[in-house]
């Protein structure tokens, strides 16, 4: 997608300057040159930090390169699109986003399975640690099968799904990210990470 937009599509008629940001977290594979910034000592950030800090920093970096606050188009897949939804609701998002395209980014969590409800209720709520979803899927085959179920096998070749899990989920992130997604599933809506998760669940 990035290369396609940069080259201007099939007819080379509309070209874009394309920026591919890396969210907070550290990937264990290095098949391209990438200088990582200093990582926080504690893996305790949540989705709110991506929205309030990281997205803002990414857009500011692009605007600094141009020398003025130019609005940008944001293309996000999965959580990348969800961040655009949330950031677009802010005053800064209204000013800085010219348009948003999302791919496989949920807008609601109205339907969840009993298994997901069970898992989200037993996840830790008050503490966080470094977590790698790809490594967890390799150890727990049921988790890998669940990740695979997110794609329609009639539309996507299994090799592509396996490669996506292998590379797309190979990222050391804060477990609090999963905890916040668990809140989305339990309450069937987006929400900020509450100061007291247990109390929030009761209410």
Residue 39: its pLDDT value, please? 63
Taking residues 191-203, report their average pLDDT: 80
Q: Is 178 helix (H, G, I), strand (E, B) or coil?
A: helix
Q: What is the pTM of this model?
A: 0.82
Q: Where are the alpha helices (DSSP H) in the chain?
A: 2-7, 47-49, 55-66, 79-88, 91-96, 114-122, 133-139, 141-148, 158-168, 175-187, 197-202
Residue 91: its pLDDT value, please? 94
**Is 112 a residue whose pLDDT tops 80?**
no
Indicate the average pLDDT of the chain. Answer: 84
Residue 27: its pLDDT value, please? 61
pLDDT band at 145 (very low <50, low <70, confident <90, very high): confident
A 10 A CB-CB count for 87 gives 24
Q: What is the pLDDT of residues 51-108, one digit of tens each?
A: 999 999 999 999 999 888 899 999 998 899 999 999 999 999 999 999 999 998 988 8
Residue 31: its pLDDT value, please? 52
Please, are residues 138 and 174 in contact by the beta-carbon 8 Å criterion?
Answer: no
* Highest mean pLDDT, choosing among 14-18, 67-71, 92-96, 186-190: 92-96
Hey, what long-range contacts does 105-112 have (CB within 8 A, 24 or more apart)?
A: 105/76, 105/77, 105/78, 105/79, 105/80, 105/81, 106/82, 108/188, 108/189, 109/184, 109/185, 109/187, 109/188, 109/189, 110/188, 112/185, 112/188
**Is 35 a residue whose pLDDT tops 70?**
no
Cα of 81 vs its chain's centroid, Å: 7
Please, are residues 75 and 97 in contact by the beta-carbon 8 Å criterion?
Answer: no
Quote the tokens at residue 19.
């920026």
Name 26's bridge partners. Answer: 172
Name residues whose C-beta falls within 8 Å of residue 59's C-beta, 6 or more positions apart in sequence: 72, 96
Q: Helices 114-122 and 175-187: crossing angle, nearest 10°?
A: 130
* Percentage of residues of the chain with pLDDT beyond 70: 91
A 10 A CB-CB count for 33 gives 5
Residue 9: its pLDDT value, please? 74
Name the residue ranges covered by the structural domains of the chain. 2-27+40-103, 114-202
Cα of 149 vs its chain's centroid, Å: 18
Top-confidence residue, 31 or 18: 18
Top-confidence residue, 5 or 112: 5
């Amino acid at each position: 997608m990035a290369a396609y937009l940069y080259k201007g599509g099939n007819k080379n008629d509309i070209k874009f300057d394309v920026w591919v940001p890396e969210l907070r977290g550290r990937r264990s594979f290095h098949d391209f040159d990438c200088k990582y910034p200093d990582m926080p000592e504690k893996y305790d950030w949540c989705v709110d930090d991506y929205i309030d800090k990281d997205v803002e920093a990414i857009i500011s970096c692009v605007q600094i390169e141009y020398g003025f606050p130019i609005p940008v188009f944001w293309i996000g897949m999965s959580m990348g699109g969800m961040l655009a939804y949330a950031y677009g609701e802010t005053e800064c998002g209204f000013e800085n986003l010219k348009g948003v395209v999302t791919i496989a980014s949920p807008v609601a969590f109205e339907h969840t399975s009993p298994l997901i409800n069970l898992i989200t209720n037993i996840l830790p709520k008050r503490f966080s640690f470094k977590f790698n979803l790809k490594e967890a899927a390799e150890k727990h085959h049921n988790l890998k099968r669940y990740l695979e179920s997110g794609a329609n096998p009639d539309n996507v070749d299994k090799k592509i799904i396996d490669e996506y899990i292998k590379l797309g989920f190979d990222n050391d992130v804060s477990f609090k990210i999963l905890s916040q997604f668990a809140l989305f599933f339990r309450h069937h809506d987006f929400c900020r990470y509450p100061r007291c998760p247990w109390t929030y669940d009761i209410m």
